[in-house]
């Protein structure tokens, strides 16, 4: 008896590392110290000594049951982007710049080519966000996971000067709400989706005219990474007062998290286009509108606040900066005095 006969192939692990090296190399930053394969990743902070009060910001998350769709379609090149996005978007909405990322893959059987494809997606997310992929772990766990399944999670660290942190403490009545478009469902609410739709390859490969694509392609579309869009707003000279990454819990849970007590967000539902996947999901599942907004991003992956002192000119300047960064943005509402929460109108 040996480790391989017990279900853990050490040689496959070595091969996975070799196959992923080319993807990892694309994410490197000048601050990264050492090479891939060490026991830890090292990152120099020498470049940030000019900050008055350098502050580390971190985020960790996974992809959740969206992975079930990747298994059904045997497509593993996009969920890595989701994993990075869920972590770095949280850092960005706190005002931080993502510095580095580490991934964790647990699988029933290490198939080197599949693991390398997974990491290619992680690397793509890191490239999009400017984060270096400085380490990770692939754990082969036979008997714990089915041979053809895996879990994927990650951890990111970013940095901000303390004075640039987005805290929400200065939000006032009359401030403007700006939303940045999502690519669709992103990485939340898939337990409900799997109750509404048959998550088989045949079902996921079905083309819907309303979607302009197959159901699987619409649902697997990667989570948007908003790092560059928010950075563009900052560089335009517009200060973001508060920011919310719209993840699990939708509007009702996430938007109040950026508001101080005594302030509420009033959002106009028709102020931005809603991706058709949400209409299909709601109608097919007979889901109430309130539940949709309490579960999904409904077309806005990030919502932020700018001061009403910026006026319409400031709002348009922020939107223009976001569009130059490759994303779509809209004025979606305003801040009012009242019990902390969200009002849709």
In SS3 terms, 123-163 reads as: HHHHHHHCCEEEEEEEEECECCECCCCEEEEEEEEEEEEHH
For 79-108, the pLDDT digits (tens) are 999 999 999 999 999 999 999 999 999 999
In this predicted structure, the answer to whether residue 344 has a pLDDT above a threshold of 90 is yes
pLDDT digits (tens, 9 = 90+) for 179-224: 999 999 999 999 999 999 999 999 999 999 999 999 999 999 999 9
pLDDT above 90 as % of the chain = 82
Residue percentage of the chain with pLDDT more than 70: 96
pLDDT number for residue 60: 96
Residue 38 pLDDT > 80 = no
Question: Can you give the pLDDT at residue 40?
Answer: 81
CB half-sphere exposure, 185, CA atoms < 13 A: 30
- Cα separation values, 135 from 60, 124, 154, 160, 180, Å: 14, 15, 10, 22, 31
Mean pLDDT, residues 257-280: 95
Q: How many residues does the chain have?
A: 345
**Per-residue pLDDT averaged across 171-182, rounded?**
96
pLDDT, position 1 = 56
pLDDT digits over 108-166, tens only? 999 989 999 999 999 999 999 999 999 999 999 999 999 999 999 999 999 999 999 99
pLDDT reading at 2 higher than 50: no
Cβ neighbours for 244, distance < 8 A, ≥ 6 positions apart: 93, 254, 255, 257, 258, 302, 303, 304
The DSSP 8-state label assigned to residue 7 in this structure reads T
Is residue 7 pLDDT above 80, yes or no?
Answer: no
- pLDDT band for position 33 (cuts 50, 70, 90): confident
Q: pLDDT tens digits, residue range 220-245?
A: 999 999 999 999 999 999 999 999 99
Asked if pLDDT for residue 4 goes beyond 80, the answer is no
Q: How many other CB atoms are there within 10 angstroms of residue 286's CB atom?
A: 7
Burial of 327 (0-12, 13-18, 19+ CB in 10 A): buried
Long-range contacts, stretch 27-31, CB < 8 angstroms, 24+ apart: 27/101, 27/123, 27/126, 27/127, 27/131, 27/132, 27/133, 28/132, 29/99, 29/100, 29/130, 29/132, 31/99, 31/132
In this prediction, residue 310 carries a pLDDT of: 87
């Amino acid at each position: 008896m040996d480790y391989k006969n017990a279900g853990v192939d050490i040689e496959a692990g070595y091969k996975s590392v070799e196959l992923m090296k080319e993807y990892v190399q694309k994410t490197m930053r000048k601050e990264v110290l050492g090479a891939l394969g060490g026991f830890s990743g090292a990152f120099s902070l020498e470049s940030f000594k000019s900050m008055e009060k350098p502050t580390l910001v971190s985020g960790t998350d996974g992809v959740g049951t969206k992975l079930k769709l990747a298994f059904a379609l045997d497509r593993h090149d996009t969920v890595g982007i989701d994993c990075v996005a869920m972590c770095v978007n949280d850092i960005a909405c706190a005002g931080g710049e993502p510095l580095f990322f580490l991934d964790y893959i647990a699988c029933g059987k290490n198939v080197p080519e599949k693991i390398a494809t997974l990491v290619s997606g992680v690397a793509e997310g890191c490239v999009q966000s400017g984060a270096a992929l400085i380490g990770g772990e692939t754990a082969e766990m036979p008997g714990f996971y089915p041979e053809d399944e895996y879990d994927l999670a990650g951890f990111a660290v970013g940095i901000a000067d303390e004075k640039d942190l987005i805290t929400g403490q200065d939000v006032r009545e009359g401030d403007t709400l700006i939303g940045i478009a999502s690519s669709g469902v992103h990485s939340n609410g898939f337990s409900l989706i799997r109750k509404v739709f048959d998550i088989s390859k045949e079902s996921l490969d079905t083309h819907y005219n309303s979607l302009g694509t197959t159901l699987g392609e619409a649902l697997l579309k990667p989570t948007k990474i908003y790092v560059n869009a928010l950075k563009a707003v900052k560089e335009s000279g517009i200060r973001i007062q508060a920011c919310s990454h719209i993840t699990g819990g939708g509007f009702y849970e996430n938007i109040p998290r950026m508001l101080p007590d005594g302030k509420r967000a009033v959002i106009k539902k028709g102020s931005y286009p809603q991706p058709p996947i949400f209409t299909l999901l709601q109608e097919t599942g007979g889901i109430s509108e309130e539940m949709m907004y309490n579960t999904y991003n409904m077309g806005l992956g990030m919502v932020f606040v700018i001061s009403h002192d910026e006026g319409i000119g400031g709002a348009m300047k922020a939107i223009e900066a976001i569009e130059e960064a490759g994303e779509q943005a809209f004025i979606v509402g305003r801040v009012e005095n009242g019990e902390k929460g969200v009002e849709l109108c």
